[in-house]
C-alpha cells in the first residue's frame, strides 16, 4: 500500500471510529456489536476481547487501528492466527513457557453452533454433531484429540477459495471507498454490447418516436390558423390518438402469445410489451398535460380578446359549444386528465410493490371510461380505435368464454414456508400451455371480481393437474393464505359441498396440507419469453425467490421430454439426440437464489427428482447443472463463517448430500459473483447462451448488465 493510500485509509478509519465511539472516544461492547452488525453475540464478544488488547473493556482508536491493520493489510498467516484465537474459547495452553493455542471438540462445536446462528441456518443437533466430527477428524491429523494452529492452517490450504480475501464484516465496513469506483466509465447505454442486445427494442422506440414527431408536425401545420398554442394542443391531441390506441395493442395478450410463435418475434420486441406499455403510458401522461395546458392558455387568451365567455366557462361548461358531441370537449377533457393522472399514479412501482395491488387493479379498470370519453372528446379518435377495439373486445369475450368453460376446482392446497400457497387445480382437458406460461386466476371465495396473474409451475406433460405457487405479498395473496390457514375456512367450505360430494370426499387437513373442492376461474394461458428456452442451445435459468415458478415448469418439462419412461435400466445419455424438433438444448444451468433456508423447501422434491433422473457423469459434461445460493448465509471468506463452510463442504463430500437442502448440489453462501458465473458459462462453449430471469427488478439490472458484457441474450419475465 502506498503512503497516499495508507494516509487515506487512516483518515477513513478515524472518521468511522468517531461516529461509533461518540464523546468518550472509546468503543464499548454494545457499540462494537452495533458497528459489527453481527447476529450472534459470541463473535462480537470474541472479536471485542481480541481488539481490546489492554483488557480495559473498551477499544481505543490505537487498538482498533492495530487490529484492523492486521485484518486488512496482514498476511494470511496473521489473519489465520487471529481466526484461531477467536475459535479458542478457553484461552491458551502453555507448554515450555510458550503459549500453544489448541481447539478441542467442544470448542469447535460451540463455534459451529454460533456460525449457524450467524448465517441463519437451522440444523438439528445431530447434524451439528456430524459437522463438528467431520471438520475435527479432517483437521486433527495426528489424532491427538485437539487441533493446533498448524493443523488448521494445513486444513485451510485445501480450501483455496476461502483464503482469497479473508476478513470480517467490520474490516470491510472500515475500508475506504475504492478510488477506481469513482473513475468515469462509459455509460452502459452507449456501449456497443447494449445496442447489439437491445436492437429490436431500440429500433421500435426509434420508429415510435419518429411517428409521434411526424404526427405532431402534420397536426400543427394543419391547424396553423389557430395560433401557436392551438397548434401545440392539436399536435399533442394527434399523438394521443396514436398512443391511446397503441397502449391497448400492447396488452392484447392472446394475440401477442400467438405472434411469439411466428417470425414477428425476430423483428418486434414482443417480450418487452409490458415495458413498452409503461413507456407509452408515461407518453400519454406527458402529451395529455401539454395538450390540456395549451388549451387552457388558448382559452385564457380567447376570454381576454373575445370577451364572450370567461375562462371557467370554457373549461367546465358546454356554452362555448366546443366539441363534436354537444360541445362537451372541455368537460370530457378535464375528466380524462384526472383519470389519466390517477391511473399513472396508482400504477407506480411504489403502489404495486407495497402490498396495494388492488389499488392498481381497480384504478386501471377506468381504461373503459377513458376510451369512452375519448370517443366523445375527439371527433377522429374512433377511426384509430375501431380495429384494435374490436380485436380487444374479441379477446375479452374469448377470455370470458375460456374462463367459464367447464368447472375448474382447487382440489389440493399446500401451505409452504415464507407464506407461499401451493394450489393444485384440476386441469380441464382443453387447457393447453407451454412451459413458463402464466394465467389469470379468480377465486370467488377470496374476491369475487379480482383476477391476478401467476406463473404455471407444473409441466404441460402433467395432464390432470395445474400448479400455481402464490407468494403472500399483497392483500389478495395474504387473504388466500389466511383462508387456507385458518380452521374456520373448513366450516365455510363444508357448507358449500353438495350432498353427493360430501359422501364421496370430505375435506381433510393434515398440518399444512389440505384436500378441498373450491371453485375457481382461469383465463389463459399467456406466453412469456421463456417459451424460447427449448430453441436455445445453452440456457441459463436464474430464479430469485418465488421467481423459480416458471423454471419449475420448464425443468419438469425437461424431465418428461428427456426421460425414457418404462425403461429405467436403459443405457441412455441426457445429451443424446432428441426427436422433439423444438428441443435444441445442449446445456442448462439452473441458478436459484433464496434469502433463507426454508424457501428451498418449495421445490426441493422436484430438484431431488431432477438429480436422481440425471446420470452422475456424462461424456460431455452434465446436461443440467444446479447452483443454489443462500444470501442470508455469510460468504466463505468471512471469519464468522469459515469453520462452518469448511465443515459443510467436508460433510457434503462424505455424505454426498448438502446439509442445508438435502440435495446433492452444495448450497453456496452469499450472493453469486456474476462475472465468475458467466465467465464459466462462456468457457463451456455449448452454443449461443440465452439467460432467462425471473425475480426482483433490481437484480435484473445487475444480471442484464453482465449479460451485455459477455454477449448473452437476456430475457426477463414481464406480466
DSSP class of 459: -
- The reported pLDDT for the residue numbered 628 is 92
CA distances from 132 to 122, 554, 644, 664 (A): 15, 39, 9, 20
pLDDT class of 171 with cuts at 50, 70, 90: low
For 638-689, how does the pLDDT look when each residue is reduced to its tens digit (9 = 90+)?
777 778 888 888 888 888 888 888 888 888 888 898 999 999 999 888 888 8
Q: Cell triple for residue 219?
A: 397536426
Residues 6+ apart with CB under 8 A from 635: 641, 669, 670
Q: Cell triple for residue 638?
A: 468471512
Alpha-carbon span 636 to 644, nearest angstrom: 9
| Per-residue pLDDT at 286 exceeds 80 | yes
- The reported pLDDT for the residue numbered 163 is 57
pLDDT class of 200 with cuts at 50, 70, 90: confident
| Weakest-pLDDT range from 8-22, 455-469, 556-570 | 556-570
| Weakest-pLDDT range from 134-138, 403-407, 470-474, 660-664 | 403-407
> Any idea of the CA torsion for 559, 565, 570, 573, to the nearest 10 degrees?
-20
What are the φ and ψ backbone dihedral angles of 148, each rounded to 5 degrees? -90, 170
| Per-residue pLDDT at 364 exceeds 80 | yes
pTM of the shown model: 0.79
Instruction: Check if 3-173 and 407-486+512-526 are the same fold.
Output: no
Residues 6+ apart with CB under 8 A from 410: 423, 424, 425, 443, 516, 517, 518, 519, 520
Name which of 182, 183, 179, 176 is nearest 11 in CA terms: 176
Kindly state the percentage of the chain with pLDDT values over 90. 20
Query: Can you name the CATH fold of 3-173?
Result: Recoverin; domain 1 (1.10.238)
Helix H or strand E segment including 551: helix 549-562
Mean pLDDT of 304-318: 78
Name which of 166, 235, 277, 140 is nearest 719 in CA terms: 277
CATH number attached to the domain at 407-486+512-526: 2.40.30.10
| Per-residue pLDDT at 578 exceeds 50 | no
Mean pLDDT of 13-34: 77
Alpha-carbon span 419 to 470, nearest angstrom: 8
- The reported pLDDT for the residue numbered 196 is 74
| Per-residue pLDDT at 572 exceeds 80 | no
Burial level of 155, CB count in 10 A (0-12/13-18/19+)?
middle
- The reported pLDDT for the residue numbered 638 is 73
CA distances from 672 to 480, 668, 699 (A): 33, 8, 11
pLDDT class of 99 with cuts at 50, 70, 90: very low
| Weakest-pLDDT range from 78-82, 159-163, 252-256 | 159-163
- Number of H helices and E strands in the chain, helices first, is 28, 17
Alpha-carbon span 601 to 157, nearest angstrom: 34
Helix H or strand E segment including 637: none
- The reported pLDDT for the residue numbered 371 is 92
CA distances from 371 to 9, 241, 289, 315, 347 (A): 62, 10, 17, 20, 18
- The reported pLDDT for the residue numbered 505 is 40
Residues 6+ apart with CB under 8 A from 9: 1, 72, 175, 176
Alpha-carbon span 618 to 613, nearest angstrom: 13
Contact predicate 370/341, CB 8 Å: no
Beta strands in 476-620 (DSSP E): 509-510, 513-526, 538-544, 587-594
Contact predicate 689/654, CB 8 Å: no
3-state SS, residue 211 = helix
CB count in 10 Å sphere of residue 152: 24
What are the φ and ψ backbone dihedral angles of 85, each rounded to 5 degrees? -65, -35
- The reported pLDDT for the residue numbered 508 is 40
| Per-residue pLDDT at 161 exceeds 70 | no
Alpha-carbon span 117 to 130, nearest angstrom: 17
For 36-45, how does the pLDDT look when each residue is reduced to its tens digit (9 = 90+)?
666 567 777 8
- The reported pLDDT for the residue numbered 186 is 61
| Weakest-pLDDT range from 124-133, 499-508, 547-556 | 499-508
Mean pLDDT of 444-466: 88
Alpha-carbon span 689 to 684, nearest angstrom: 10
Contact predicate 588/539, CB 8 Å: yes
Mean pLDDT of 506-520: 70
Contact predicate 521/408, CB 8 Å: yes
- The reported pLDDT for the residue numbered 39 is 59
> Among 232-241, 293-302, 354-363, 650-659, which range has the highest average pLDDT?
232-241
- The reported pLDDT for the residue numbered 105 is 85
Helix H or strand E segment including 556: helix 549-562
Contact predicate 553/459, CB 8 Å: yes
Burial level of 709, CB count in 10 A (0-12/13-18/19+)?
middle
Q: Cell triple for residue 527?
A: 406466453
pLDDT class of 573 with cuts at 50, 70, 90: very low
Alpha-carbon span 648 to 652, nearest angstrom: 6
Mean pLDDT of 169-194: 57
Q: Where are the alpha helices (DSSP H) in 378-458?
A: 381-404
Alpha-carbon span 455 to 550, nearest angstrom: 6
Alpha-carbon span 589 to 74, nearest angstrom: 38
Alpha-carbon span 133 to 657, nearest angstrom: 16
pLDDT class of 566 with cuts at 50, 70, 90: very low
Beta strands in 71-145 (DSSP E): 93-95, 98-100, 102-103
Contact predicate 587/684, CB 8 Å: yes
Mean pLDDT of 445-472: 88
Q: Where are the alpha helices (DSSP H) in 579-696?
A: 604-613, 642-655, 674-684
> Among 395-399, 427-431, 507-511, which range has the highest average pLDDT?
395-399
Burial level of 308, CB count in 10 A (0-12/13-18/19+)?
exposed
Q: Collect contacts of 91-98 with beta carbons under 8 A, ≥24 apart.
A: none
pLDDT class of 209 with cuts at 50, 70, 90: very high
Q: Burial code of 68-104, b = ≥16 C-beta within 10 A, e = fewer?
A: bbbbbebeeeebbbbbbbbbbeeeeeeeeeeeebbbe
- The reported pLDDT for the residue numbered 37 is 66
Alpha-carbon span 105 to 559, nearest angstrom: 44
Q: Taking all residues of the chain, what is their mean pLDDT, rounded to a whole number? A: 80
Half-sphere exposure of 383 (CA within 13 A, CB side): 5
Burial level of 691, CB count in 10 A (0-12/13-18/19+)?
buried
Q: Cell triple for residue 205?
A: 422506440
Mean pLDDT of 542-571: 74
Alpha-carbon span 285 to 130, nearest angstrom: 62
Contact predicate 628/661, CB 8 Å: yes
Domain boundaries, the chain: 3-173, 209-389, 407-486+512-526, 529-566+580-632+670-716
What is the gyration radius of the CA atoms in the chain, in angstroms? 32
CATH number attached to the domain at 529-566+580-632+670-716: 3.40.50.80
Burial level of 166, CB count in 10 A (0-12/13-18/19+)?
buried
Residues 6+ apart with CB under 8 A from 505: 515, 517
Name which of 661, 548, 543, 668 is nearest 604 in CA terms: 661
- The reported pLDDT for the residue numbered 501 is 42
Amino acid at each position: 500500500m502506498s503512503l497516499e493510500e495508507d494516509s487515506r485509509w487512516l483518515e477513513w478509519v478515524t472518521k468511522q471510529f468517531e461516529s461509533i465511539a461518540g464523546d468518550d472516544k472509546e468503543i464499548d461492547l454494545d457499540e462494537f456489536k452495533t458497528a459489527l452488525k453481527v447476529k450472534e453475540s459470541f463473535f462480537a464478544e470474541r472479536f471485542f476481547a481480541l481488539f481490546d488488547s489492554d483488557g480495559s473493556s473498551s477499544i481505543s482508536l490505537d487498538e482498533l487501528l492495530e487490529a484492523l491493520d492486521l485484518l486488512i493489510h496482514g498476511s494470511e498467516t496473521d489473519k489465520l492466527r487471529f481466526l484461531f484465537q477467536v475459535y479458542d474459547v478457553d484461552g491458551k495452553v502453555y507448554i515450555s513457557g510458550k503459549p500453544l493455542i489448541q481447539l478441542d471438540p467442544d470448542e469447535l462445536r460451540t463455534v459451529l453452533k454460533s456460525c449457524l446462528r450467524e448465517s441463519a441456518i437451522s440444523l438439528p443437533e445431530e447434524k451439528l454433531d456430524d459437522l463438528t466430527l467431520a471438520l475435527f477428524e479432517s483437521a486433527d491429523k495426528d489424532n491427538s484429540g485437539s487441533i493446533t494452529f498448524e493443523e488448521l492452517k494445513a486444513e485451510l490450504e485445501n480450501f483455496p477459495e476461502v483464503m482469497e480475501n479473508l476478513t470480517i464484516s467490520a474490516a470491510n465496513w472500515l475500508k475506504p471507498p475504492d478510488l477506481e469506483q469513482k473513475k468515469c466509465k462509459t455509460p452502459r447505454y452507449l456501449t456497443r454490447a447494449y445496442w447489439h442486445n437491445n436492437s429490436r427494442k431500440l429500433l421500435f422506440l426509434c420508429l415510435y418516436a419518429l411517428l409521434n414527431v411526424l404526427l405532431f408536425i402534420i397536426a400543427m401545420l394543419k391547424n396553423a390558423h389557430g395560433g401557436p398554442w392551438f397548434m401545440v394542443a392539436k399536435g399533442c391531441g394527434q399523438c394521443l390518438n396514436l398512443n391511446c390506441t397503441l397502449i391497448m395493442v400492447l396488452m392484447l395478450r392472446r394475440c401477442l402469445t400467438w405472434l411469439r410463435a411466428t417470425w414477428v418475434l425476430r423483428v418486434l420486441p414482443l417480450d418487452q410489451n409490458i415495458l413498452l406499455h409503461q413507456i407509452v403510458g408515461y407518453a400519454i401522461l406527458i402529451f395529455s398535460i401539454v395538450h390540456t395546458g395549451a388549451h387552457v392558455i388558448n382559452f385564457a387568451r380567447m376570454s381576454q380578446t373575445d370577451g364572450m365567455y370567461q375562462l371557467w366557462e370554457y373549461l367546465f361548461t358546454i356554452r362555448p359549444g366546443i366539441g363534436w358531441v354537444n360541445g362537451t370537449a372541455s368537460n370530457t377533457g378535464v375528466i380524462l386528465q384526472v383519470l389519466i393522472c390517477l391511473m399513472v399514479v396508482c400504477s407506480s412501482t411504489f403502489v404495486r410493490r407495497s402490498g396495494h395491488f388492488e389499488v392498481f387493479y381497480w384504478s386501471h379498470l377506468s381504461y373503459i371510461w377513458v376510451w369512452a370519453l375519448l370517443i366523445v372528446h375527439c371527433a377522429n379518435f374512433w377511426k384509430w380505435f375501431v380495429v384494435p377495439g374490436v380485436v380487444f373486445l374479441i379477446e375479452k369475450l374469448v377470455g370470458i368464454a375460456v374462463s367459464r368453460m367447464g368447472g375448474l376446482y382447487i382440489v389440493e392446497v399446500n401451505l409452504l414456508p415464507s407464506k407461499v400457497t401451493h394450489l393444485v387445480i384440476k386441469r380441464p382437458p382443453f387447457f393447453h400451455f407451454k412451459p413458463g406460461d402464466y394465467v389469470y386466476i379468480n377465486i370467488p371465495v377470496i374476491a369475487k371480481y379480482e383476477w391476478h396473474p401467476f406463473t404455471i409451475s407444473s409441466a404441460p406433460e402433467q395432464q390432470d393437474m395445474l400448479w400455481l405457487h402464490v407468494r403472500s405479498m399483497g392483500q389478495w395473496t395474504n387473504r388466500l393464505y389466511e383462508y387456507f390457514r385458518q380452521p374456520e375456512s373448513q366450516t365455510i367450505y363444508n357448507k358449500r359441498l353438495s350432498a353427493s360430494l360430501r359422501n364421496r370426499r370430505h375435506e381433510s387437513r393434515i398440518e399444512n396440507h389440505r384436500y378441498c373442492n373450491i371453485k375457481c376461474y382461469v383465463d389463459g394461458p399467456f406466453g412469456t419469453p421463456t417459451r424460447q428456452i427449448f430453441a436455445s442451445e445453452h440456457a441459463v435459468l436464474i430464479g430469485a425467490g418465488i421467481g423459480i415458478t416458471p423454471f419449475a415448469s420448464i425443468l419438469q418439462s425437461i424431465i418428461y421430454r428427456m426421460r425414457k419412461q418404462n425403461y429405467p435400466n436403459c443405457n441412455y445419455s441426457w445429451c443424446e439426440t432428441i426427436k422433439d424438433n423444438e428441443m435444441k438444448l445442449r446445456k442448462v444451468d439452473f441458478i436459484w437464489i433464496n434469502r433463507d433456508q426454508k424457501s428451498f423447501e418449495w421445490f426441493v422434491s422436484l430438484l431431488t427428482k431432477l438429480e436422481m433422473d440425471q446420470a452422475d457423469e456424462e461424456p460431455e459434461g452434465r446436461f443440467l447443472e444446479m447452483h443454489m445460493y443462500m444470501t442470508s448465509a455469510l460468504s466463505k471468506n468471512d471469519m464468522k463463517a469459515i469453520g462452518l463452510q469448511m465443515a459443510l463442504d467436508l460433510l457434503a463430500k462424505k455424505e454426498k448430500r448438502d446439509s442445508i437442502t438435502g440435495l446433492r448440489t452444495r448450497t453456496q453462501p452469499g450472493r453469486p459473483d456474476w462475472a465468475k458465473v458467466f465467465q464459466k458459462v462462456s468457457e463451456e462453449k455449448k452454443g449461443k447462451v440465452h439467460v432467462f430471469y425471473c425475480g426482483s427488478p433490481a437484480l435484473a439490472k445487475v444480471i442484464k448488465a453482465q449479460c451485455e458484457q459477455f454477449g448473452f441474450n437476456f430475457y426477463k419475465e414481464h406480466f
